[in-house]
Structure 1
Amino acid sequence: MVAPTFKVSRSSSAAPLRDTERLRYRLDVVACSVADLIQSAGGWLYDRAMAGWEVTALLPDGCDDRALRILGVRGLGLEERFATLGTGSTSHTLAVSAEAFSVDTRVRDTVLRSLDDRMTEVALWGRSAQEWPLRVNRLITRSQHRLSAAARTFKGYALAAEGISGIAVDPVEALLCDVRSPIDTELIRLD
């Protein structure tokens, strides 16, 4: 039996991959403040980053992202992201705070488009399910993420770096997630 072969050479090297070509899951998080993001979803973001996800926080321009780096999260200006990508979502997961959803129509449009896209998981926080607009409310369910011990520790460090001290880090973070979420098995659905 003859097996087909292909040429492998030490001299032929592959070109380095660009960011758009990497085979990593991507989580884009939109929030109006670093403090809200860390308090509401910091442990979940840490666990995702440590699992190999590329986690990017999209914040208003001028926000200090040092506390996010403790969690393994890269900070980027919201305007910069929309300028390079437009309003289309290219992430596997999109997480958005209620405040960001309310104040920016581009964020709102991106969330609504992502909820219609079966390949993009959507997570929301900041309101109960009934307080979201009807179109969103019908497509989300309550869920929670149980933080790893490391996530609890690093979330505490990130909160302290943001100037928030004396708060106990809960072992669970509550989120609202897309009913049809295809990717995440870490979010435990409550409904």
Structure 2
Amino acid sequence: MSNYRLDVVSATVADAVRHAGGLMFDRVRAGWRVVVVTEDTSHSTALTILGTRTRSPGEPEEIPAKAGRVVHIRVLPGDSPSVNRRTTGVALPRAGLGSQLLFWGPRVDCEPAEPKYPVRHELSPAARRFKGCALHAAGLDTHVEPSEEFWSNDVVDADLFADLLLDSQIGTVESVARPSSASLVRG
């Protein structure tokens, strides 16, 4: 049995909702365990609307008794020149172990030779509606784009996502229509 986890690391609840609210909702709806790692205790209603849990950076992670295969995605702000355990207060998943790191915001070139891969999450209609409600609860503008943009230092591993298909003709990852889950698209 697989254990699917999405952790969104953010300084504020408002930033987590603004940048990854649709991804969080769609993953909760698909049965993933979604946690927002933040010290911000305001706007908890926004996270309740999206169906997520919260955890402070120093709090230990819950480890399921029978983990099986673990699929783990961390979503982080990309405006820090060094994203690591010290700056985020949490341990980052290691590459190659069913893990993926995604970043939102400006691309920071820590390593100039290191390529950056754009990743786009297409929001389901329900995610757009619930994200709008969560944005309102967080006191933000309620306009919701049809997709959320991220980037990664690694090519998105299509094996981690049952809803992705690599299109070799154009070199992008495109979504396969599945009603119960959202898609991440490398663009």
Q: Which amino acid aligns with 1:36?
A: D
Question: Which structure's residues are more often helix, by fraction?
Answer: 1
Offset of 1:98 from its aligned partner? Answer: 2.6
Separation of aligned partners in 1, 2:134 and 2:57: 21
Separation of aligned partners in 2, 1:68 and 1:54: 13
Q: 2:145 is matched with which residue: 156, 162, 170? A: 170
Partner in structure 2 of residue 30 of structure 1: 9
Closer, same or farther: CA 77–160 of 1 in aligned 2, 3 Å? same
Separation of aligned partners in 2, 1:183 and 1:72: 22
Closer, same or farther: CA 109–26 of 1 in aligned 2, 3 Å? closer
Q: Percent identity?
A: 31
Closer, same or farther: CA 108–75 of 1 in aligned 2, 3 Å? closer
Q: Which amino acid aligns with 1:107?
A: T
Q: 2:104 is matched with which residue: 108, 115, 125? A: 125
After superposition, the CA RMSD in angstroms is: 2.9
Closer, same or farther: CA 103–138 of 1 in aligned 2, 3 Å? closer
Count of aligned pairs: 158
With the length of structure 1 as denominator, give the TM-score of the two structures.
0.70
Separation of aligned partners in 1, 2:186 and 2:2: 27
Contact kept? 1:28, 1:57, Cα under 8 Å: yes
Q: 2:88 is matched with which residue: 107, 121, 143? A: 107
Partner in structure 2 of residue 183 of structure 1: 160
| Secondary structure of the corresponding residue to residue 163 of structure 1 | coil
| Secondary structure of the corresponding residue to residue 134 of structure 1 | coil
With the length of structure 2 as denominator, give the TM-score of the two structures.
0.72
Greater Rg over alpha carbons, structure = 1
Contact kept? 1:27, 1:54, Cα under 8 Å: yes
Partner in structure 2 of residue 155 of structure 1: 131
Question: Which structure's residues are more often strand, by fraction?
Answer: 2
Offset of 1:149 from its aligned partner? Answer: 0.5
Offset of 1:76 from its aligned partner? Answer: 1.2
How big is each residue's C-alpha offset from its partner over 1:64-96, in whole Å with a ceiling of 9 and x where there is no partner?
A: 4221111111111111137x78xxxx7611111
Closer, same or farther: CA 70–52 of 1 in aligned 2, 3 Å? same
Q: 2:117 is matched with which residue: 110, 127, 141? A: 141
Closer, same or farther: CA 123–140 of 1 in aligned 2, 3 Å? same
Unaligned runs of 5+ in 2: 64-69, 165-182
Separation of aligned partners in 1, 2:79 and 2:89: 10
Structure 1 moving runs of 4+ over 6 Å: none
Partner in structure 1 of residue 22 of structure 2: 43
Contact kept? 1:70, 1:158, Cα under 8 Å: yes
